[in-house]
Amino acid sequence: MKIVDVIIPTLGKVSPKSHPFICFENLHHIPWPYYLHVITGGKTWAEAINIGLKQTSGNDVILLDDDVFINDKTFSLINEYYDKADIFGFKLLFPDKKVQHAGGIVRQEGVGHIGWKSNDDGSYDKPMYVCHVTTSCIYIKRPVIDKLLGMSIMPGQQMEDVDFNFRAMKEGFKILYLPSPAIHMESATKRFFLIFKKTFHAHIWI
């Protein structure tokens, strides 16, 4: 029987028992038996994720931010497309149902989310291979974990997931965006580390 490891980093913000997002009403939508790793340690998301990865035991891994609400549709396409890729990302919507993430691209001015702040009008309803997907909600096959050995620890907290995806691509792994949705409670007005993103883009691609 397939079992997955689910890692939820919280950075010690609250007790796992009282955290409003970590609840059975959210996690019961995962369609496979799972081991849950709620990580309160680590100074950054990357450190917390690496702590969680060390606790896993040979299974595929789901990473979930503590402010992501999944539903019955979120992981519904994994089995159908399992042999098509090694890393799977999903459509993330803001609470107002505008698109936060429909896969990621690399542009001349840097990296970015496909569909950012646009209406969920069907434009992003087809699976597609992309440059990166956010680790806010991601399914990673075990061979990727075994090869990359976790996240790189970087000075900014907005690019470790992009770096992870780029490292995976360099090793020949495929990244697939799936249009099955989840709700991300992240603010649509959140400021990103734009200077760091441009520096990272130049370092990796130029």
Domain 4-205 coded CATH 1.10.3720.10: no
Residue range 86-119, pLDDT digits in tens: 999 999 888 888 888 888 876 655 566 776 778 8
pTM of the predicted model over 0.85 = no
Distance CA 99, CA 127 (A): 15
For the cut 90, the answer to whether the pLDDT of residue 146 exceeds it is yes
Encoded tokens for 124: 């992003």
Radius of gyration of the chain (CA): 16
Q: CB–CB of 99/184 below 8 Å? A: no
Chain centroid to Cα 159, Å, comes to 12
Residue range 1-47, pLDDT digits in tens: 689 999 998 876 655 455 555 555 678 899 999 999 988 888 888 88
Question: Higher model confidence: residue 151 or residue 172?
Answer: 172
Distance CA 113, CA 26 (A): 25
Reduce the secondary structure of the chain to three states and give it as a string: CCCEEEEEECCCCCCCCCCCCCCHHHHCCCCCCEEEEEECCCCCHHHHHHHHHHHCCCCEEEEECCCEECCCCCCCCHHHHHHHCCEEEEEEECCCCEEEECCEEEECCEEEECCCCCECCCCCCCCEECCECCCCEEEECHHHHHHHCCCCCCCCCCCHHHHHHHHHHHCCCCEEEEEEEEEECCCCCCCCCHHHHHHHHHHHHC
- Region of 149 please: left (phi>0), alpha (psi -120 to 50) or beta: left
Q: What contacts 79, CB < 8 A, 6 or more positions away? A: none
Q: What's the confidence (pLDDT) of residue 19?
A: 53
